[in-house]
Amino acid sequence: MKIEEFSARLLDRKNPLRIHLIGVAGSGMSGLARLLLEMGHQVSGSDRTTSGETERLRASGLQFSTPHSAEVINGVDVVVYSSAIRPTNVALGAALAQEIPTFRRAECLAAILHTRAGIVVSGTHGKTTTSAMTAHILRKGELTPSHYVGAEIPVLGSNAEWNEDGEFLVAEGDESDGTLALYQPKHAIVLNVEEEHLDFYERGIDQIREVFNTMLDQTTGAIVYCRECEEATRLCQKREGSVSYGWENADWTATDLAENIGTTSFTIHYQGEKLGRVELGIPGRHNVLNALGAIALSSLCGVDFQRMARALSSFAGAKRRFETKYLTTRYRVVDDYGHHPTEIAATLQTARTYGSKRLVVLFQPHRYSRTQRLAAEFGCALQDADLVFVTDVYAASEDPISGISGQTIVDAVHEAGETKAVYLPDLKVAHHVVGNQLREGDLLITLGAGNVHEVGNKLIRDLKQLEELKQETLVNAIQLYEPMARHTTIRIGGPAQFWIEPETFDGFAKAMFYCKARGIPVRVIGRGSNLLIRDGGLRGAVIHPKGGDFGAISVDGHTITAGVGVRFKKLASVAREHGIGGFEWMEGIPGNVGGGLRMNAGAMGVETFDQVIRVTFLDEDGVFRDRTRAEIQSFYRSVPELRRNIALSATFQGAPASAEEIQALLDESRHHRNETQPKAASAGCTFKNPEVCGAGQLIDELGLKETRVGMAEVSPEHGNFIVNRGQATAKDLLALIEKIKQVAKQERGIELETEVQILGEDQLTF
């Protein structure tokens, strides 16, 4: 069956066809499915996965199945397949074996287009927006057009629609694989022509010109082209019936541009005559040119200027075309489909009109071949951003090219200018790095034709929570995805989903209440000693009391009251300044008051609760309470009371002592620590001391000093310390802990118990 016969069969309403679409979940194929259903045909489709569009199509009559199978094409008259479908696909293979007529997506679109007065919008960039504008203007001009556009268009209701009574069908013409030459439209718009899709066009621009020329030769009516594009002008200006648009020296021009946030206004002229002012409902100079093309074409179809102006003022753009996904006074997140240097430059130019403090870009390169050939151009285009993150390449069915990755773009950005660029090879966790770097006043753009928008969706989910947290708790120091490696003494740990730093007891209480009321897991962490966070990080909130109430110290006689954020070293120093003895042992403790209270930390034969006389805490019901030492049970490295309740401050008892006595004991504590403890990053003592001997002595006797797993090592200075020799992971450390425990059990029959607290997820889950 040839395209002409297929086109004729499509108009035979008495004998509807049974048509199966392979790869129906894609935007292009789903649009075909909708057109064919609305034309009255029986349509089925299959894909590797379902989508929101396939669910909507099911409601309209699509028979959908997943995954692909040979059985789905039994009894069908025609099979249509997308460009992403390989010859090895089982459904396509079965269709060929049964000699069922098969058509590529563009061939099917051509067959549908030939049943109407077709309007093909072509070009390297801007096709979706311009075809959507054109269809919207014709609809507002009461011409009831059909349309086929390569994205969801809110103002049109869907990416495709068939109107039985309308004369025109507006279609986006894809030039990527040469199928543009199949179309025989009444009218055509040529937006721009550049060297692109060079994986297909091996002969470069000459081969691209041939395809455009073939389509233009087959156009029976008007050809509208952009005067600003040299190639488009070269191809079109001498053709009969050609109409130009541009900034000047064109039939249709725009002057007096005013770029506002989200809109652009300008004055329209036709052949030198001023027609009036237009306010376009989307931003960007490049979209003014797109609007001029749509206006020029719509005028040829008979729509008057006032109707065109009203239509453009209500045009809201296409999905993933500078689409604002999230907007508050603090942040704006925009998603854009741009994947070519020219598109990126236009998008960033538009973004600059929004007046944000910083423009942050997360770019996903599309296709290895494009990345390889246009790396330098990408590097230049991305200079308009303040900070650029680059994911790995979205292959789009291409095989990888050795040496080509997202790092290729990062290198090109650095070569082109001063803009900072960072390579993020793992898309699943890219939002952790980007979100942690966002600051209030930033505009973030997720940019690319692949699935980079999924990163934006994850960020938006947590940005909403973050902003609500700030509003409800009045704590402004809240950060997304804070790496816990920055906040543990061993410098290991995945991210905290929400990192909260209250400075007041009231802010702390509000943050705790907010999280508990919404079922958000919450942890309170001090300086991060005696703590190991797994590589998957901490889902929920981590509260880190800092400064303010938590850093306060007051002295009354021989007692000292300190907030939980005060370091033990600081407490020992204050005691010395006031002639108070008994605090010298704290010089050797790397943590702060909060951690010391919770773990009943100790050194040199003294424990924290030996000196505590009173603790102020927040109880499980959110009430502030004071409790005396006599009311609190404490044990070796354990205080049950503080597992349920959160200490806020404590009062410690000291004794009068001379400056010489205090200094001598401080020096002894410092010397003991320097002689017996490693200087490398550690979490302190790894294991509790068993009854028979010290854990460090046991590990030494077992010959396990300097044992390594990855970059985690048993310290040669002290066997009960595991140190981070560089880029150790929690996985390394946990494996080393398990190895030590196994040896101790096998050789001495001793069950070692960890003193270090181990928290978090093994795998990233948020």
pLDDT for 375 equals 95
Spatial CA neighbour of 227 closest among 195, 179, 189, 176: 189
The stretch 421-425 carries a mean pLDDT of 96
List the strands of the sheet with 323-327, edge to edge: 323-327, 332-336, 442-447, 358-363, 387-391, 420-424
- Residue count (the chain): 766
The catalytically annotated residue of 152, 161, 172, 343 is 172
Q: Check whether 748 has a pLDDT greater than 80.
A: yes
Q: Check whether 322 has a pLDDT greater than 90.
A: no
The stretch 20-25 carries a mean pLDDT of 91
- Respond yes or no: is residue 172 known to be catalytic: yes
Q: Check whether 293 has a pLDDT greater than 90.
A: yes
Residue 202 — pLDDT band, cuts 50, 70, 90? confident
pLDDT for 671 equals 77
Q: Are strands 387-391 and 358-363 parallel, antiparallel or unpaired?
A: parallel
DSSP string, 124-182: SS-HHHHHHHHHHHHHHTT---EEE-SS--TTTSSSEE--TT-SEEEEE---TTSGGGG
pLDDT for 178 equals 84
Q: Position 668: which residue type?
A: E
List the strands of the sheet with 612-618, edge to edge: 553-556, 559-563, 646-653, 612-618, 624-628
Q: For each of the domains in the chain, give its residue range(s) and CATH number, in order of start.
A: 3-104 (3.40.50.720), 116-313 (3.40.1190.10), 323-458 (3.90.190.20), 548-669 (3.30.465.10), 679-759 (3.90.78.10)
- Respond yes or no: is residue 127 known to be catalytic: yes
The stretch 518-530 carries a mean pLDDT of 91
- Those residues whose C-beta lies under 8 Å from the C-beta of residue 664, and which sit 6 or more positions away, are none
Degrees (nearest 5) of the Cα angle 321, 167, 297? 50
pLDDT tens profile 64-108: 998 899 998 899 999 999 887 888 899 999 999 999 999 999 899
The stretch 336-354 carries a mean pLDDT of 89
Tell the residue number behind the tokens 């603090």, with chain if given.
330
pLDDT for 247 equals 95
Q: Check whether 763 has a pLDDT greater than 90.
A: no
Q: Which of 55-69, 129-143, 407-421 has the lowest mean pLDDT?
A: 55-69
Spatial CA neighbour of 595 closest among 489, 712, 479: 489
pLDDT for 151 equals 81
Task: Give dist(CA 63, CA 605) in Å, integer.
Answer: 76
pLDDT for 96 equals 92
The catalytically annotated residue of 54, 124, 128, 371 is 128
Q: Check whether 250 has a pLDDT greater than 90.
A: yes
Q: What is the pTM of this model?
A: 0.77
Residues 17, 37 contacting (CB under 8 angstroms): no
The catalytically annotated residue of 127, 140, 186, 510 is 127
Residue 725 three-state SS? coil
% of the chain residues with pLDDT over 90: 72
pLDDT for 92 equals 93
Q: Check whether 304 has a pLDDT greater than 90.
A: yes
pLDDT for 362 equals 97
Task: Give dist(CA 302, CA 188) in Å, integer.
Answer: 16
Task: Give dist(CA 354, CA 284) in Å, integer.
Answer: 11
pLDDT tens profile 590-639: 789 998 898 898 887 889 999 999 999 999 888 999 999 999 998 888 89
